Structure 1
Amino acid sequence: MTANAVFIHHPGSARYQFNESHPFDPQRITLSLDLLHKVGALSPGDLIVPETAADDIIALIHRQDYIDAVRQLSKDEPPAEWLQQADRYGLRTEDTPFFPGMHNAAAAIAGGSVLAADLVMSGQAQHAYHMAGGLHHAFPGHGSGFCIYNDAAIAIEQIRHRYGARVLYIDTDVHHGDGVQWSFYTDPDICTYSIHETGKYLFPGTGFVYERGNEHGLGATVNVPVEPYTEDDSWLESFEHSITKVAAAFKPDIIVSQHGCDAHAFDPLSHIHCSMRIYQAMPAIIHKLAHQFTNGRWVAVGGGGYDIWRVVPRAWALVWLEMTDHPIASRLALPGVNEALPASWVDRWHSLSPDPLPSYWLDDTSGWMAIPRRSEIEERNRHTVKLAVQEM
């Protein structure tokens, strides 16, 4: 681990599990950490354990009545009067059902993202990575989309409240970062940027180009909704062109990035057809922007990702490899270069995976099915990007 990057992890985040059949599986964190251990990029002693977020920290974004509801519904046998309130707080849906220990697990995740923000803003670290974070769909008064407490929004509000800094939030999850966007929709000092599959076809059904902010925050919200079956070249063209313009126009003091990795072709919950190439390239672009515009201040969190065996470990490990200038990241950035995953990692997990595990960091896409209407999809995405940044 380099001196300028810190890795935040609370063991309590492993308890953030709705039920055994739910797609949000904390096993993905275990797999990702083990991959980093196997390549020698992280050791158990490198992990910084945060405190669980107290109510006053969670209340930077969430209403106290919602926090109370989460606490009560976290009990092994929730009181009857609170069971009757579960629907009101979005905690009895198929996506986001309440579960025992929910508050402590979600507060542990919130605490991790807040510590990452504090370490960077106080100058104790230049970069910080909190892999378990990125629960970007939670709202002040209700849970949504697998998310109980919005750790990214809480960390951003901590930055504004304690340090008075301008924050550029970059969301690369395939689902629109709605909870973060709406939390800061009128704030001119928080720019929320999200690239995602268009809400015409995908949860949460928001994140359109015309969502630009309101009141003093008008223009500080940027959305790049791409077409279904977008591939690597178009996704990266859309991302790099738009986020470079946004960063140059907004001039942030710190970047907070969310690295959901569910735009991969293997992910079961979206319709985008990208490969691991975008998960090598996007952290590199963000890293460059951080050094160009924020004196290197960069906080990264995880997010979505539901092919937990073939996609998430590689994608999330690549964020840390880029953040620490690891030689693997440098080599993978070269055109045409790929590199084998450690055999010890593949050997450990292959018998548990429902699909054959990959052997390399990047995908061999030569045998992938060709996407019809490729040129049409690319042109539509270029038009969307033009609209998204036309006033920058």
Structure 2
Amino acid sequence: MKTAEAAFIYSSEEHLYHFHEKHPFNPRRLRLTMDLLQYSGALDQSMILKPRYATDQELALVHDQAFIEAVKQAGCGRLVEEQARNYGIGTDDTPFFEGMHEAASLLVGGTLTAVDAVMNGSYSHALHLAGGLHHGFKGKASGFCIYNDSAIAIEYLKQNYQARVLYVDTDAHHGDGVQWCFYDDPDVFTLSIHETGRYLFPGTGSVTEKGAGAGYGMKLNIPLEAFTEDESFLESYETTFREVVEFFRPDVIITQNGADSHYLDPLTHLHTSLKSFHAIPKLAHELAHTYCNGRWVAVGGGGYDHWRVVPRAWGSIWLEMTEQTDILNQPIPQMWHEAWKEQAEELLPSVWHDPEDMLPIVPRKPIITTRNQQTVEKALYYIRNEKKSLRTPINEKR
């Protein structure tokens, strides 16, 4: 087994972030992925770092104290329903569960553990799949997310390491909570590539959301058309990521790796395959080494086909981080099948790739591709003009 300087952040205690068994945000995704990597020989105990709990002070880097107290009370059964709804708790998306404050604090602490592992020089990269709760707001839970670990990690990076942070979100749902938290901040660039909000929660993330004040131009959104396929998704991703990182020159890259743009995902309408999920971390890895001395923190996010998609998509991130992508050409280990076949609600995959003929033909593919290209052009207009302006001699500007 070939190892690299990467840390895998995980503890079975993270499974306590569990709303109920029928809720789509189910922690078994973590165990499925970890088992797949271990049975493939790609992950051993020496690579795993145990997450710590975030302190209330760290949570308050982003969240209002009143909200933190409300989550504590909700997890103890002492928050009345009317009060809870004001904080986005007790809804279908974010229902009550016992110990929700402690469980959510551990997920935040896991991402902070990943940040410290990378920023103190112990590791070049770190992966925390239980993180990526990008819909949490300062004073409100939203979209399965209580505390926003990515936003807290970014503020933590700014205050403790004086870092300029590039946050890249490829979840099918717009990374709204992170964007709005840093909307006027010039030292945080948020890039979100997602399904258009015309049809999907949270309904935001248009190309016109570019930031405000000193942060104007530091927020970039690519709302893709429904039924976007691999080629158009990856073209949009690579074009924007490369131009953004060259323009912004970050100290560290955080990627949010939702696995819900896949064709089989039950909650979204994008049309990608595992081809995209193998390519996404490859580019992040390359650009982290090119611009950030390798500093790359990756978190999880959405992804609701637990059996066929998420383990392979998330497993691909670790294989890329640790330079073990040759495993992608091997069969899925039979031991993984044996471990999960009795519980599985779908036929478990036998290989890391999707069959090329799996996806139905999309009749509107040329139109979708053209519209996505136009969206990318509109989104990058400001950056390209800024770069052009910086290159223009003073006498020409006059």
Instruction: Give the TM-score, by structure 2 length.
Output: 0.94
Q: Which amino acid aligns with 1:359?
A: S
Q: CA deviation at 1:83?
A: 3.8
Q: What's the counterpart of residue 352 of structure 1?
A: 343
Question: Residues of 1 paired with 2:22 and 2:334: CA distance?
Answer: 29
SS in 2 for 1:299: strand
Partners in 1 of 2:242 and 2:309 — Cα distance? 26
Residue matched to 2:74: 73
Deviation at 1:131? 1.0
Amino acid at match of 2:34: L
* Residue correspondence of structure 1 range 24-63 to structure 2 within 5 A: 24-63=25-64
Listed as ranges, the gaps of 5+ residues in structure 2 are: 384-398
Contact 1:61 1:154 in 2 (8 A): yes
Pick the aligned partner of 2:167 from 166, 169, 176: 169
Paired position in structure 2 for 1:382:
373
Is the Cα contact below 8 Å between 2:271 and 2:359 reproduced in 1? no
CA contact (8 A) 1:133 1:301 kept: yes
Instruction: Determine the C-alpha separation between the residues in 2 that align with 1:310 and 1:389.
Output: 35
Q: Offset of 1:153 from its aligned partner?
A: 0.6
CA–CA distance in structure 2, aligned partners of residues 297 and 224 of structure 1: 24
Q: Does 1:6 align with 2:7?
A: yes
Question: What are the Cα deviations for residues 117-157 of structure 1, in whole angstroms up to 9, with x where unaligned?
Answer: 11211112111111110000000100000000000111111
Residue 370 (structure 2) pairs with residue 391 (structure 1): no
Q: What RMSD, in angstroms, separates the aligned Cα atoms of the two structures?
A: 1.2
Instruction: Return the offset for 1:327.
Output: 4.2
Distance, in Å, in 1 between the alignment partners of 2:290 and 2:164 is 15
Distance 2:28 2:319 in 1: 20
Q: Choose which of 74, 82, 85 in structure 2 pairs with 1:84.
A: 82
Aligned pairs for 1:130-279 within 5 A = 130-279=128-277
The DSSP-based 3-state class of the residue aligned with 1:86 is helix
Asked if structure 2 preserves the Cα contact closer than 8 Å seen for 1:12 and 1:104, the reply is no
Tell which deviates more after alignment, 219-228 or 121-130. 121-130
Paired residues of 2:273 and 2:354 also in contact (CA < 8 A): yes
Residue 370 of structure 1 pairs with residue 357 of structure 2: no
- Alignment partner, residue 335 of structure 1: none
- The range that moved more, 361-370 or 133-142, is 361-370
* 1:252-286 Cα shifts (integer Å, max 9, x gaps): 00000000000000000000111000000010001
Looking at structure 1, the residues matched to 358 and 69 of structure 2 have their Cα atoms a distance apart, in angstroms, of: 52
SS of equivalent residue, structure 1 residue 391: helix
Deviation at 1:7, TM superposition (A): 1.0
Are the equivalent residues in 1 in contact too, given 2:128–2:298 (CA < 8 A)? yes
SS at match of 1:84: helix
Could you tell me the TM-score, scaled by structure 1's length?
0.95
2:303 to 302, 305, 309: 305
Please say if residues 6 and 47 of structure 2, whose CA atoms lie closer than 8 Å, have aligned partners that are also in contact. no
**Is the 1:188–1:216 Cα contact (8 Å) retained in structure 2?**
yes
CA contact (8 A) 1:174 1:195 kept: yes
In structure 2, what is the Cα distance between the partners aligned to 1:321 and 1:31?
Answer: 15
How many residue pairs are counted as aligned between the two chains? Answer: 382
- Percent identity, aligned pairs only, is 51
Residues 177-203 of structure 1 deviation map (CA, whole Å, 9 limit, x = unaligned): 000000100000000000000011100
Q: For residues 308 and 161 of structure 2, what CA distance do their matches in structure 1 show?
A: 39
Distance (Å, rounded) in 1 between the aligned partners of 2:50 and 2:116: 14
